[in-house]
A and B are shown apart, each in its own frame.
Chain A
Amino acid sequence: MNAVVRPDPSPALPAPPMAARPPRTEGAQWVQRLGRKYADRITALRRLPAREGDYVDLPPDLPPGLADALRARSVTRLYRHQAEAWRAAQDGENLLLATPTASGKSLCYLLPALAAARHGGKALFLFPTKALAQDQVAELIELSTAGHLGVRAATFDGDTSGDARQAIRASGDVVVTNPDMLHQGILPHHTKWAALFENLRYVVIDEIHGYRGVFGSHVANVIRRLKRLCAFYGSDPQFILCSATIGNAVEHAEALIEAPVHAITESGAPSGEKFLLLWNPPVVNPDLGLRASARSQSVRIARVAIKAALKTLVFCGSRTQVEVITKYLKEVFDREPRGPARIRAYRGGYLPNERRETEVAMRAGKVDGIVSTSALELGVDIGALDVVVLNGWPGSVAATWQRFGRAGRRQQASVGVLVASSEAIDQYVVQHPEYFFGANPEQARIHADQPLVLLDHVRCAAFELPFSAGERFGPVEVDGFLDLLADDAVVHREGERWEWIADSYPANAVNLRAVADGNFVVVDRTDGRQTIIAEVDYTAAALTLYEGAIHMVQSVPYQVERLDWPGRKAYVRRTFVDYYTDAIDHTKLKVLERFDASPLGAGQCETGEVHVVRRVSGYKKIRFHTHENIGYGPVQLPDQELQTTATWWQLPPAVLEAAWPTREQALAAFHGAGNALHCVAQLAVMAEGRDLQKCVDDAHPDGRFHPALYLYDAYPGGIGLSQPLYERRSELVKRARGLVAACPCTRGCPACVGPVAAPVKDEAETPKRAAQRLLTLFEAA
């Protein structure tokens, strides 16, 4: 079981000498030069001073074997917070580690787990991805080997072979898995895991800030089921939780495990000086208020950094962006096709072994520039970076700090640059630096007792162990839910007990991540091959795998020839065209149920449940470098449907007719107002990334023209954004009007009302004015 030991060079070892590269520019100098040359584009420059390390001696009660293991890896002292973590663990407390990235969090849980393993105490580690899980097993085994501790650790997930599974169940000391596997593969077979549950000392859960929203609510319930089983087997493990910096780490941790935690938030790790820049692309068309693309700026900054021999990472908001930027950078730095790649792309669609290979190369310092999606945000070790460029606002304050955290060197300054796109929210952030620098990172919210989520997990729990009347699941009395399940004939009540009776496996029907299942594989058919070159998840498939799409893998273009939707396969062929493709998608909404409604000015604001249909109607062909639109193509794909909650603002037809001569103008005003309203709404509820979507729909059940602006939660069943928005409906309108009024553009721009077309002759009013007038209609007369 311990056979997989990955011999990676430890980051503490010096980097291999580089041959024939230009001398490295010091980070601080580089920032100064950048600041002088592009002063008009930099809206803010903050300096975070360097920090000394706060060290303490190895704790005296650390077992000698462990102390030896640490010394064998050149660790002779601990950071203060690591020692505090050891102390709290020995004192039997639940622990929360909310220190920044690269602060040595893993030792905080590895040391207690390894110490306990020597006496038969077992541990369960939960990581959100397989890559992180494998990293941890490798680190654990290295420590165990260095100290001759003989601890048996292994990952347990969908890829684990049958024989390995038996061995892990029987004798694994540390089982490393993910919440989905725990939910579906371990808990419903818990009798096979009796040895683990009887001796469980620690449950380690990493990256808990990711367990928010509906997903987090599911995970909280999986933890309830885990605790229930531990009680059955007579164990009471301590929880050690790790979180990125969020606004409410302690509250969130305690909500997840429903128990108090000892929080450690101050890091004793040293950190180098850091410079953070907010960068706004220059205006290229003052009449239309258009700016240069964020992409052009990110490529420029990365080019300048890599030329100065600074290791650079560019974070992108989408996989297509990753491919396009990688292509441009490769054109500059990887002209030699046979030489080692200096620029590499990293994203979720690549095959796991390719990503491992890239991570190893990065750790070894062999890669000069990496272009990635948020996949690299999580804790995978990729060595030290000098410059991090964010191509567009990642959607939250927390994610921005997380990404900036990737840059960091001990002895030299590192740099983080946030490049704004023309999206309203990006423009807001970059023009109001105090919002970002002064903001508390977003809060992570879960609602473990969301009735539908709770019902799912009570069902799974009943499969695992019978329920007695009056028994609680977590803190909730669930007799009522069990009666419902009895009506469904999945449990049978006999006396004071409900027992499972159906011939089904409920965990299979509960997907923790609330998205349709079925990853797509991309099959390369060039020259008669049949090789799988990438994987695409269900939500991205409609946007990137339609027939005719140019799909890029490591910036090599392939064209999709055939898409087998039910079979989840896309067949592609290598292509040499000079354009890329961009899907055109439309969204339509239908109101299923109104929870509440009230008049607002001359119109109405309502909240309720809606049915959203998203259709990809075609695609644009866009030439590289010039970015001209050179054509369109059709797309025939099934619609993607979503049932969720929303809040919407609408105006009666009579009011609209009085205000605008044509329907087109009224709709245009709606779109403009909607852009501003969406922006302020996202900020107001601190929605993260794409959680809150907008849509202007003019359909009405009785066929009349009755447009409305919808703001809906991007998760099935909703995640609790609609109600707070509804409650603040008039405040939001006021703020939106203020945003449009204060915008420095002349006619409208993406920062306020969205992109505007060139003015027509005798334009009656600007898009900006139209949006303001519409918003005014919602304000009390």
Chain B
Amino acid sequence: MSAALDWLRQQRRTAPTPPPAALPSVAPAPGSDDIADVIERLRRLRERGPRRTAASASSPTIDRHLPGEEIAPGLWQTTERRASLVAPPMIDLSALARPARGRRPPTGTATFDAPIARERLCFFDTETTGLAGGTGTRAFMIGLARFGREGLSITQFTTATMAAEAAMLRAALADLDEGAVLVSYNGRSYDRPLLSTRHTLARLPDPWRDRPHLDLLHPTRRRWRAMLPDCRLATVERHLLGIVRDHDLPGSEAPAAWRSFLRGGNAALLRRVGEHNAQDLASLAALLLHHLGDADAPRG
């Protein structure tokens, strides 16, 4: 039985209660009065129960500051550059894109046969409302990163409201030019399908599906699994790249941080989610360079 039912039952035991709607023997046409009555009774039961903290309205003393620029209602964009992450002008991914024996090759494998310009690589990582899957999970932050002459430039889109989702998806699409080659960490199983779901729900076309996509989780696992306790990005960045984060907000806390901000809470945690996401992108780029044997590549 559902949690609500358990809860309702519990409430009934502790408080004197009015009778619920009896079940008639033939399904009647639902009068709006009947439903309104039921809701009223359920409400009264809840009021007698443990008080739930109502969403507090934003007051001037709560820190609601988000970094960057509000480029559309509720949609914030930040940009930063990591000058130390320099890539060679042409990049050869053929060794990485080879699929393991017996597995399907990644999308657009043909693209990886010849070296490609570093500018085409599009690193991406999302922050979402959780791992439950299905149509109820959304991304509230999309981070994109590209190599250029001056290092790695990172762009992040964050939705401060739910209504800004469509604008965020469109803004990310604008960055996704025809030649873009996606690079992610576990993005083939998680981030990309999630974005495709959100595009369908928003009735937007879905170019993410067609872009060539290199998921670094797989070549990383193949090459270094024996040496590492696990292949989470945090582990990989610590052991292979020597990156140790300072005061990092764990990815698992990101959903709660955004939910709390959405309900009028403090933005501090959400800003730290942004920092975490930016570092994820930087580490992803550094990991790619590491794969390519670029021993001189500075750690971002």
Interfacial chain A residues near B106, Cβ < 8 Å = none
Q: Is the CB of A720 within 8 A of B23?
A: yes
> B13 to A592, Cβ gap below 8 A?
yes
Known: A191-B201, A452-B5, A503-B129. A720 touches B162 (CB 8 A): no
Q: Please, which residue of chain B has its CB at the minimum distance from the CB of A192? A: B197
A711 to chain B, nearest CB (A): 15
Cα distance A480–B3 when bound, in Å?
Answer: 18
In the assembled complex, which residues on chain B have CB atoms less than 8 Å from the CB atom of A194? 200
Q: Are B23 and A456 in contact (CB under 8 A)?
A: no
Q: In chain B between 173 and 207, which residues have their CB closer than 8 angstroms to a CB of chain A?
A: 196-197, 200-201
Q: B23's contact among A447, A507, A509, A510, by CB below 8 Å, is which?
A: A447
List chain B residues, Cβ under 8 A from A510.
Answer: 2
Contact present for B39 and A481 (CB under 8 Å): yes
Chain B nearest CB, measured from A192 CB (Å): 8
Is A451 within 8 A of B163, CB to CB?
no
A495 CA to B30 CA, complexed, in Å: 27
B134 is an interface residue with CB less than 8 A from chain A: yes
Q: How far is the CA of A723 from the CA of B136 in the complex (A)?
A: 38
B32 / chain A contacts, CB cutoff of 8 Å: 477
The one of B19, B21, B46, B163 in contact with A497, judged by C-beta atoms closer than 8 angstroms, is: B163
A191-B200 in contact (CB<8A): yes
Residues in A with CB closer than 8 Å to B22 are: 595, 720, 723
Does A465 sit within 8 A of B, measured CB to CB? yes
Whether the Cβ atoms of B42 and A484 lie closer than 8 Å is yes
Determine which of B36, B255, B263 lies in contact with A492 in the assembled complex, contact meaning CB atoms within 8 Å.
B263
Given contacts A188-B134, A503-B255, A685-B25, contact A495 B163 (CB under 8 A): yes
Flag A487-526 by CB within 8 Å of B: 1 or 0 each. 1110010110101111111110111001000000000000
Q: Is B132 a contact partner of A476 (Cβ separation < 8 A)?
A: no
Q: How far is the CA of A499 from the CA of B162 in the complex (A)?
A: 8
Cβ of A450 under 8 Å from chain B: yes
B residues in contact with A465, CB < 8 Å: 135, 201
Q: Is A716 an interface residue (CB 8 A)?
A: yes
**B129 pairs with A501, CB closer than 8 A:** yes
A596 within 8 Å of B (CB atoms) = yes
Q: Chain A residues near B24 (CB, 8 Å)? A: 447, 720, 723
Interface 0/1 of A174-212, CB less than 8 Å to B = 000000000000001111101000000000000000000
Give chain A nearest CB distance to B240 CB in angstroms.
30
Please name all residues of chain B whose beta carbon is closer than 8 Å to the beta carbon of A416 when the two chains form the complex: none
Q: Note all chain B residues with C-beta closer than 8 A to A477.
A: 32, 35
Residues on the A chain within 8 Å of B3, using CB: 509
Is B43 an interface residue when CB atoms closer than 8 A count as contact? Answer: yes
Check A456 against B4 for contact (C-beta < 8 Å): yes
> Is B239 an interface residue when CB atoms closer than 8 A count as contact?
no
**Nearest chain A CB to B164 CB, angstrom units:** 10
Docked Cα-Cα span, A691 to B9, in Å, equals 22
B200 to chain A, nearest CB (A): 4
Q: Are B134 and A189 in contact (CB under 8 A)?
A: yes
Q: Do B4 and A488 touch across chains, with their CB atoms under 8 A apart? A: yes
The contact string, 1 if C-beta is below 8 Å from chain A, for chain B 26-69, is 11011010111011001100100000100000000000000000
How far apart sit A623 and B32, CA to CA, in the bound complex (Å)?
Answer: 61
Central interface residue in A255, A511, A593, A596, by most chain B CB within 10 Å = A593
B82 close to A (CB within 8 Å): no
Of the residues B25, B39, B135, contact of A484 by C-beta under 8 Å? B39
The secondary structure that dominates the A interface is mixed
Complex CA gap A732/B126 in Å reads 65
B89 within 8 A of A: no
Q: Is A448 an interface residue (CB 8 A)?
A: yes
Contact A445 B25 (CB under 8 A): yes
Size class of the contact patch on chain B: 35 or more
Q: Known contacts A455-B4, A497-B162, A716-B1: does B35 contact A505 (CB below 8 Å)?
A: no
Nearest B residue to A686 via CB reads B25
A702 to B137, CA, bound (A): 52
Using CB atoms, name the residue of chain B closest to A645.
Answer: B23
Residues of chain B lying within 8 A (CB to CB) of residue A685: 25
Residue pair B20, A451 in contact (C-beta under 8 Å): yes
| Residues in A neighbouring B26, C-beta threshold 8 A | 445
State whether B161 touches A494 (Cβ < 8 A). Answer: yes
Q: How far is the CB of B254 from chain A (nearest CB, A)?
A: 10
| A191–B19 alpha-carbon span in the complex (Å) | 41
Q: CA A645 – CA B22 in complex, angstroms? A: 10
CB-CB < 8 A to A192: which residues of B? 197
Chain B residues with Cβ below 8 Å from A255 are: 27
Query: Is A717 in contact with chain B by the CB < 8 A criterion?
Result: yes
Contacting residues, chain A, for B200 (C-beta < 8 A): 191, 194
A514 to B2, CA, bound (A): 10
Most buried by B among A480, A484, A509, A720: A480
Encoded as 1 (CB less than 8 Å from any B CB) or 0, chain A from 454 to 480 comes to 011001001111000000000111001
Distance between A261 CB and nearest chain B CB, rounded to angstroms: 15
- Cβ of A446 < 8 Å from any Cβ of B? yes
Q: Which of B2, B17, B36, B138 lies in contact with A456, CB distance below 8 A?
A: B2
B71 to nearest A CB, angstroms?
Answer: 19
Please tell me if B292 contacts chain A, counting CB pairs below 8 Å.
no
Residues of B within 8 A of A448 (CB): 27
A-B contacts, 13 listed (Cβ < 8 Å): A191-B196, A447-B23, A452-B5, A456-B2, A464-B135, A464-B136, A465-B201, A476-B35, A499-B162, A503-B131, A503-B132, A595-B19, A720-B22
16 extra interchain contacts, Cβ-Cβ under 8 A, other than A481-B39, A643-B9?
A: A191-B197, A449-B35, A459-B2, A462-B136, A477-B32, A497-B162, A499-B138, A501-B129, A501-B162, A503-B130, A505-B134, A593-B17, A595-B20, A685-B25, A716-B1, A723-B22
Give residues in A with beta carbon < 8 Å to B: 188-192, 194, 255, 445-452, 455-456, 459, 462-465, 475-477, 480-481, 483-484, 487-489, 492, 494-495, 497, 499-507, 509-511, 514, 592-593, 595-596, 609, 643, 645, 685, 716-720, 723-724
10 cross-chain pairs, A with B, having the tightest CB-CB distances, nearest first: A503-B130, A480-B39, A720-B23, A463-B136, A500-B136, A188-B134, A191-B200, A191-B197, A505-B132, A595-B19
